[in-house]
Each structure stands twice: as C-alpha cells, then as structure tokens.
Structure 1
Amino acid sequence: MTSPRTAIVIGAGFGGLALAIRLQSAGIMTTVVESRDEPGGRAYVWRKEGYVFDAGPTVITDPACLRELWALTASDMSADVDLIPVSPFYRLLWGDGTSFDYSNDDESLNAEIAKLDPADVEGYARFLDYSRGVYEDGYVKLGAVPFLTATSMVKAAPALIRHKAWHSVYATVSRFVRNEKLRQALSFHTLLVGGNPMRTSSIYALIHALEKSGGVWFARGGTNRLVSGMAALFKRLGGTIILDDGVVRILHEGKQVTGVITRSGQRLAADMIASNADIVHSYGLLMPSPVAARRQKRLRAKRFSPSLFVVHFGLRGHYPDIAHHSILFSDRYGPLLRDIYDHRRLAPDPSLYLHHPSATDPSMAPEGHSTFYALAPVPHLGKADIDWATEGPRYRNLILDQVQEMLIPDLRDRLDTVFHYSPVDFRDDLGAHLGSAFSLEPILTQSAWFRAHNRDDHFGNLFFVGAGTHPGAGIPGVVGSAKATAGLMIG
C-alpha cells in the first residue's frame, strides 16, 4: 500500500491555514509549523485586562471563500465561526465635519452620494458597473489561478486592456465622479491591501464590487475566532500544528526541498513544502543556495507596501454613535499618500482606520467598556530612518489626539488601557521584510505573473502562499492564493 503524501506548511496565517485545510482534505498529511505561540500570523490576538485586541485583519469580505474550506469535507463553518454582518460597511469622516455612511443599501448609499453631489449618483452607477466587470475578470476568473509562465500573463492581457488596468484606481474613479470626497470614498480600499490609490492598478476597483456582492462581516469574538475555527477544522481533519517553534532552515538537495529544521532543533521531512512566511524571509531560509540568493536579491529590489502604526486602546463607557469601521481622512489625500509611499517622512496628519469591534460584539471588552484600535499607514523601514522606540510613544499620542478631536472629546478621561504596534514589531514578530505590513506593493508590474509565483521555478516541490503571491493581500487574496497553490500541490 502506498504511503500518503506529506507536506509542511510554514506559518499559520490565513493563507497557511487555508492551504493546510485544502491539503489535508485531499488526503495529504500536513504539518503546519508556526513561530508564534498562537496561530494567526498578522491576525494575532492580545487579551489584556478583559479586552480582546485583534491585530488584524479586521475587515472580512467574501465569506463564501471561507465557507468553501469547510465545504471541502461537507462541514459547516457556522459550527466553528459565527459571522455577523456589519452595517454601515464604513463611516467616512473628514475634518470639516462631513460624514458619509458607506453601506450596501442602494437607496441609502445614493442618498449619501447625493449629499456630496447629486450629479455623481449617475456617475457612481457607472463606476459600479465598471467595478463589477473587473471583479468578474480579475477575481472570479483569475483570483485563484496560478500565474507560473509569461504565457499565462499574455492570456490575461485582453481583460487588462479592456479595463485599462494601467490606470490607477483613483484616476479610474475620477472618470466617473467629480466630488473629491467621493473620489476618496471610492478609492481608499486599496490602502487596506497595501496599495496607493494613486498608482495601484484599476483592477483593484474590484474591491468595491466584492464588498457589494458579499458584504462586510465580523467574526463574533474577533478575527481570532475565525483563525481558531480554521485551526480547529484542520486538526479535526487529522492535521498537526506545531506552535512556538519557527522554521530556521529549509533543507534541499539538487532541485528538491526535503524538510525543515525548527528553532528547537527538530528536523521534519516532507514530500512538499509551502511557505506562508514573508516571501523575502522564506528565500532566506533556503540559504546557502545561489539560486535562493538570486531570488532574494531580485525580490529586495521590488517595491514593498508601507508599514502600519497601530494604537490599541480600551475606554470606559459605550459609544453607540461610533461605527464598527470608520475612516478618518486627513485634509491632504494625494500629498499624504506621497509622504507614506515616496518620501522619508512621518506625516503629522495621518488618515486613520478606526476599528470599534465592541460596537458589534460587546464581549470584545469588559462590561461597561469599549475596545478600539486606530491604524495609520506609515513608511516602511526602508523608506524612513525612524527610531520607533522614541517616536512610537509620541506618534501614539498624536493619533489619540486626532481621534479625540474628531470623535471622542473625553477620550483621555476615559482611557483605561493603551499600547501600540510599530513597523519594528512587524519586522521582528513576523519576519516582514522592511516591516512591510502587506508584502509587495500591488502595482500592475508586481501583479499576477510579476508577483512571487505560487511554485518556485527551481525547486519543483517548494510552494508559496500568502500576501506576497498572486493575487495579493487581504483575507480573500490570501485565501485565493491558498486555492491556487493547493491546486498545484494536489495535482
């Protein structure tokens, strides 16, 4: 009788767990090796003083791609995870007092648009048609397809040309609507996957249609509950998760990888290895290898997404008027984006994403309290020489002051607990190259075939999954990359 095939997945982030579930469901005996003490990767969790602080990601879209993982073995996701719809999707706020509720209710959304500019209601309808077109071509048809050859990119070219993919999301939105605030409202989404709206390919306008078709959701108990639900499913299928013992080396002979060595000295062998770790870090695990060194050098020369500075805080009291997801826009949009992506400076007026999970699920905070985090995109460690040990506390106070000024006047009086997470933490905790929060920047020349491939071109049984591979960052992106990679591994 032939022994079952075996696989090792490095990293228990969303991509790694989704891939492991697919492999184990197909009868491939799979072991996930994770360096941290809990699964999740970028979706880590801290529990402090009765508060639950999700590290992120906290915007859950396309729940169908998640339910599909349970359906592989005729299971029901609801047995492990309770998803709650979030409405409005986001509340957008500007310094002049303008607010915009971005929801899935067409009548309400059109009314919000009309408040900004009645003439843009018709333009928005045309933008939505465009977004649905790129969603169908870019996500439904190609989101889980591995781009391993230049020919595969050529085949996708007609769709890219049809949708004028060389235009940016912001430029594309501007073709349809004229109000500047509405242009910001319809283009900011790329920031949630590491992209600059001013230069990210218009293909990423699909995010709007993705949200419209599938909604925006929250996992009861936090994103960590979705992670633990995926881990529970994987273990029920017979998979193994090793925690707190990261891989320090990938072993190889000729054009084959053969196993891994962990921090504790364990040697694990497998027929196939897939890495959900940072893509630059992953190639470092193959050293010494001239091939891996060349791959890593080429990757280092690419453009990487910015990092994030995240302030987690708990407040005494409830805030029913603050939405689950809010975007607090700076008075500068384009200039601020240039500060983040191109200049070596830390902006004094960041735009913020404010997460308020206890608005939907009171269990995220102690009774009578509320949980928040405020997230600001900041330059990665290769862009700005910032001493975060010194700058972190100052920037944390600046962000809290901004939230206080725009939303919570008595924030300082109600502040119960606070801590922050900086680009240095992304580098040190997650092995993220330059502290980038989203891996490679999602520009057209770093997408699909131009992104890291789901299977290595030299080591035939080495695979990659996650934000650095096609199709990119975000929960649907990394779960899609897992589907693409699993198809290659299962054969």
Structure 2
Amino acid sequence: MLKQPDRPSDSGTRPTAIVVGAGLGGLAAAMRLGAKGYAVTVLDRLDMPGGRGSSITEDGHRFDLGPTIVTVPQLFRELWRDCGEDFDRHVDLRALDPFYEIRWPDGSTFRARQSTEAMRQEVARLSPRDLKGYDRFLADSARRYALGFEDLGRRPMHAVADMLKALPAFGRLRADRSVYAHAARRVKDERLRMALSFHPLFIGGDPFNVTSMYILVSHLEKEFGVHYAMGGVAAIARAMARVIERQGGLLRLNTQVDEILVDRGAAQGVRLVEGEVLHAPVVVSNADTGHTYDRLLRNHVRRRWTSPRLGRSRWSMGLFVWYFGTAGTRGMWSDVGHHTILNGPRYRGLVRDIFIKGRLARDMSLYVHRPSITDPSVAPEGGDTFYALSPVPHLGFDEPVDWDAVAEPYRRRVQEVLEERLLPGLSKHLTASRVFTPHDFRDRYLSTRGSGFSIEPRILQSAWFRPHNVSEEATGLYLVGAGTHPGAGLPGVLSSAEVLGKLVPDAVPGPAQMKVASE
C-alpha cells in the first residue's frame, strides 16, 4: 500500500504543480517536475496508480489491465537517472525471446525474434522469395525510427515551424503511404504483410490508414527487445509512485478532478468533484485528451480543441478484454507462450469493420497474454493467468454496439475460438473471469467514445496535428499521455513526459533543486 502523506514535506518552500491522472504518462510527468524542483500533487480517481497500467486481483489471479509489453527500456532508465535514481534497483525486467508468436487459421506461424538472422529464417520459412524485400523493410524501419522516434517523438511539436521543417523528410519517407501499403511494397506473402503491418493496432491505429512512419516499431522491437516487468506494468507504476513520494510529492488516490480552473488565460489549479479547490500555476493533464478539453475545460472558451473539432477527430478502436484464470494447467498448453496473436480468417475486412463501419463482426483476431509463463506470482500454484483482447468498434458510431446485451455472448465466442485453436479443454479449467468492454474504458478511464488509445495516430492527427504537450487554451496548462504528442504506447507516453520536461521551466534554478533522498 502506498504511503499518502497529508502534504508534500516542503511544499511551502517550493513552487507547486498538479498532475491530473496517475497513468504512466502522468507519473512520469510528476517525476520530471519533482526533479525540476516542484512540489507535485498527483490526483487520480482510481484506488491505485497506473491508469490503464493498473491491475486487479480475483481468486488469486493478478490481471494486468492494459499494457503488457515493455519496449525501449532505456526510456525508463533515463527517467529514473534524471531523478537521481536507478531503475533496475526497483524494477525487474525480463527480456522475452521470442517476443510473440503469430498464428494463422491455416496452421502457419511466425515467431518474432530479436536476432536478425532468426527473423530472416522465419521469413524464409514462410516465403523465401520475400527475403530481399524483408531486408529492405528493416532498413526502411530504421530510417523512420531515427526521424519519427528519436527526433520528432522526443521534442516539442507545438510550433508550426517544427512541422514545416519535418515535411521534406516526411515526403522522402512517403509518410502519406499507410503501414500496410508500405509492407505490401516490400513483401508479397499476405501473412508476412500482416506480420509487418499489424503493430499500429498496439497503439490504436488502423494499419490500412495509419502513416507508414509507424513501421518504426519493427526497428524499435529488434533494436531494444521486448520485455516483461515482474509484477506487471502495475509494478512499474508503483515504483514510479515511490519515486514521487521520495521527492516530497503527494499522490491522492480515489480523488476525481471535476474542472481545471482558468483565470485571465492562465491555469490556476483544479476543482475536485467534492468541491475542494487546489491551487497551482502549473497543471498537467494525463486524462484522456477529449475528457480534458470537453469536460475539464468546459467552462473555458477554447480556441483550437473545441467540441466540434473533437467530434470530427478519428478515435482509436475500442477493446474487448476477457481476463480469466485457470486451475491445474501449469505445464499444459506447452506450445503457448507469453504473447500470442491469433489471426482470424480476415485481416483487411475485419479492420474495416472495426474502424470504418463500426460493426461487431462474428470473426475475430485475438491477442492472448499468458504472463504466468514468465511470472508464476500472477496465479495460484498450478494455475495460469490469461487475458484475451479483441479489437472492436468504439462507442462513437451512429449505432454503437450494445455491450450490455452482447458482452457475454461475445465472451463465449472468444472462449470457443480459444478452445478450438489455442487452449483445448479450457472450459474444464476456468476459475476467475472478468470482462472489460468499451463501456468500462469509458467509465473507468473516462475515455472518449470508450476508445482504447485516445485519438487515432493518422498522419493528420500526428506530430503538430496532434494535441500539443503545451496547451493553446491556457498558460501553464500541459498535456501528457496517449492522446497527445507523440502518441500511445509506453514509449509514447514516457516521451510525452520527456517533452514536458523541456517545456516547463525549472522551479528552482541550478543547485538549489531538490535532491532525491535515498530510499
């Protein structure tokens, strides 16, 4: 249980800042502000830190609710180092190999590995004629990583001049082409096209419409690996919260913000739903971008992110997630690893149903997480802990899915697919069971349209076109998290906090900045 002091120990002598939301982006922002000398208060309506990266425990099974894959771990290490701490002293990361296995209905498989030679062998096993194209795809991915992640993704993009400078490079790299279209230019086998183009789904994007800049994920995975944090991402969130407390910051959980207060064009603090007012000249919102502008700033005239503009934006898909536990299965299903992607019979058609038509199809593709393979502590002895995630339409279509009526029939269909193709005999071993639908994302995380990843990362909703880290609506108001620059995913939300650190001035210059106490 996290310690919750009445107030920061030296808040009376330091400039104050408020962070709305204790997701990974908000926690990283609070750490960076604490390192810059601010007395930070983090507010979150949940009973634990982490936001989408929190967890629940049922019948002895601990379920990671959201992100399960840790990539670019040096972002965490740099964050801890900038706060005077050592990440690896507090978080145990385990590298996975293979990263994940992709399975198709015809029985063919593809294992993503870090070794280039191992990956080339996988490609050759499926389609020898595509080896040269795969090599070119890797080179393409590395170039886009250098520009899209290391350059644009880790610096502010709120000035038009920044975007204008990047346009020639975007043109050379054909950022107008979709991820799938780029993969299709390099390889011919449809299975490989899927394997090289599905990654935008991890951050809420339609592979057939999201800019090809996002093929950078293929380089990112191979360069830095795919990791699992023992204890889940929630363990990282708890470690971040402890850094904030050692900095003298305060976490107030079970606390919901009702409004961001603005006076004469400047942020003044927040009002809680109970009516309490907290004052601070720096306010950082890690809440969903749509909720920040449409709800928290509802009494302030907005110039850019108005309700009509938010209504015209394209939002990421929704998520149906079935969390379930099993008993007596340790050692069963030995061919099922930590991460499995189970493809349905359609790729383009299913994605179109989800993102364009807003239709819940009978067929499905599933991402299956089995952390008990790596971390036995997530399940009772002899058991396993799983979640199965199915991308589904968000709630913003004209005829949204009635999840109150269809959640259980859809869960049964997920169970049928798993029993048929991955986990035979599953029904005989089931114990704990919990379902999240887009309704839960709307109600638990205050996510606009119940979307899983906020605004979709299309080309005209990326970089300068995305909500900025420094808000145009009020001086002293900043945004971090999935819905702002550079985007969703753990690397994206950590980078948004890194950008914030470059925008917010130091609270106390030079050596007077507070030094983090040792644990």
TM-score w.r.t. length of structure 2: 0.93
**Corresponding residue to 1:469 among 478, 484, 501:** 484
Give the equivalent residue in structure 1 for 2:369: 355
**Corresponding residue to 1:435 among 450, 454, 459:** 450
Q: Is 1:118 equivalent to 2:128 in the alignment?
A: yes
Q: Is 1:454 equivalent to 2:469 in the alignment?
A: yes
Give the equivalent residue in structure 2 for 1:424: 439
C-alpha distance after superposition, 1:135-157 (max 9, x if no partner): 00110111121111221110111
Which amino acid is 2:284 matched to?
A: A
Q: How does 1:143-158 map to 2 (within 5 A)?
A: 143-158=153-168
C-alpha distance after superposition, 1:178-210 (max 9, x if no partner): 111011001111100001111110000001111
Most deviating of 284-293 and 419-428: 284-293
Kept after mapping to 2: 8 A contact 1:287/1:293: no
Which amino acid is 2:456 matched to?
A: E
Which amino acid is 2:100 matched to?
A: Y
Which amino acid is 2:455 matched to?
A: L
Q: Is 1:278 equivalent to 2:288 in the alignment?
A: yes
Q: How far off its partner does 1:280 sit? A: 1.3
Give the equivalent residue in structure 2 for 1:409: 424
Kept after mapping to 2: 8 A contact 1:153/1:448: yes
Q: Is 1:229 equivalent to 2:243 in the alignment?
A: no
Give the equivalent residue in structure 1 for 2:517: none
Kept after mapping to 1: 8 A contact 2:260/2:271: yes
Which amino acid is 2:389 matched to?
A: L
Which amino acid is 2:476 matched to?
A: N
Give the equivalent residue in structure 1 for 2:323: 312
**Corresponding residue to 1:243 among 236, 239, 253:** 253
Q: How far off its partner does 1:266 sit? A: 2.3
SS of the counterpart of 1:350? coil
Which amino acid is 1:419 matched to?
A: R
Q: How does 1:173-322 map to 2 (within 5 A)?
A: 173-283=183-293, 284-291=295-302, 295-316=306-327, 317-318=329-330, 319-322=333-336
Which amino acid is 2:49 matched to?
A: P
SS of the counterpart of 1:327? strand
C-alpha distance after superposition, 1:83-119 (max 9, x if no partner): 0011111100011111111111222221111111111
SS of the counterpart of 1:143? helix
Most deviating of 294-303 and 398-407: 294-303
Aligned partners of 2:348 and 2:493: how far apart in 1? 28
**Corresponding residue to 1:346 among 351, 357, 360:** 360
Kept after mapping to 2: 8 A contact 1:258/1:270: yes
Q: How far off its partner does 1:292 sit? A: 6.8
Aligned partners of 1:336 and 1:97: how far apart in 2? 19
Kept after mapping to 1: 8 A contact 2:55/2:63: yes
Which amino acid is 1:451 matched to?
A: R
Which amino acid is 1:183 matched to?
A: R
Q: How far off its partner does 1:232 sit? A: 1.1
Kept after mapping to 1: 8 A contact 2:288/2:483: yes
**Corresponding residue to 2:47 among 37, 48, 65:** 37
Q: How does 1:45-124 map to 2 (within 5 A)?
A: 45-124=55-134
C-alpha distance after superposition, 1:198-235 (max 9, x if no partner): 11100000011111111100000111111111111111
SS of the counterpart of 2:306? helix
Kept after mapping to 2: 8 A contact 1:249/1:261: yes
Q: How far off its partner does 1:294 sit? A: 5.8
Aligned partners of 1:286 and 1:126: how far apart in 2? 47
Which amino acid is 1:310 matched to?
A: V
SS of the counterpart of 2:213? helix
Kept after mapping to 2: 8 A contact 1:23/1:490: no
Kept after mapping to 2: 8 A contact 1:120/1:179: yes
Q: How far off its partner does 1:293 sit? A: 9.2
Q: How far off its partner does 1:296 sit? A: 3.1
Give the equivalent residue in structure 1 for 2:389: 375
Which amino acid is 2:188 matched to?
A: R
Give the equivalent residue in structure 2 for 1:388: 403
Aligned partners of 2:304 and 2:134: how far apart in 1? 47
Q: How far off its partner does 1:261 sit? A: 1.2
Give the equivalent residue in structure 1 for 2:513: none
Aligned partners of 1:293 and 1:254: how far apart in 2? 17
Kept after mapping to 2: 8 A contact 1:82/1:220: yes
C-alpha distance after superposition, 1:346-368 (max 9, x if no partner): 01111110001011111111100
**Cα distance change, pair 282–31 in 1 and its aligned pair in 2 (3 A):** same
C-alpha distance after superposition, 1:44-73 (max 9, x if no partner): 200111111010111110000011111013
**Cα distance change, pair 387–28 in 1 and its aligned pair in 2 (3 A):** same
SS of the counterpart of 2:98? coil
Which amino acid is 2:502 matched to?
A: G
Aligned partners of 1:214 and 1:58: how far apart in 2? 16
Kept after mapping to 2: 8 A contact 1:286/1:292: no
Q: How far off its partner does 1:300 sit? A: 2.0
Q: Calculate percent identity across the aligned residue pairs.
A: 44
Aligned partners of 1:462 and 1:137: how far apart in 2? 27
Kept after mapping to 2: 8 A contact 1:221/1:364: yes
Which amino acid is 1:303 matched to?
A: R
Q: Is 1:337 equivalent to 2:351 in the alignment?
A: yes
SS of the counterpart of 1:371? strand
SS of the counterpart of 1:60? coil
Aligned partners of 2:414 and 2:182: how far apart in 1? 31
Aligned partners of 1:276 and 1:292: how far apart in 2? 20
SS of the counterpart of 1:308? strand
Which amino acid is 1:359 matched to?
A: I
Aligned partners of 1:48 and 1:111: how far apart in 2? 41
Aligned partners of 1:301 and 1:83: how far apart in 2? 40
SS of the counterpart of 2:192? helix
Q: How far off its partner does 1:396 sit? A: 0.6
SS of the counterpart of 1:85? strand
Unaligned runs of 5+ in 1: none
SS of the counterpart of 1:75? coil
Give the equivalent residue in structure 2 for 1:444: 459
Matched pairs, number: 490
Kept after mapping to 1: 8 A contact 2:394/2:400: no
Give the equivalent residue in structure 2 for 1:478: 493
Kept after mapping to 1: 8 A contact 2:393/2:401: no
Aligned partners of 2:425 and 2:303: how far apart in 1? 53
**Cα distance change, pair 399–249 in 1 and its aligned pair in 2 (3 A):** same
**Corresponding residue to 2:413 among 398, 403, 406:** 398
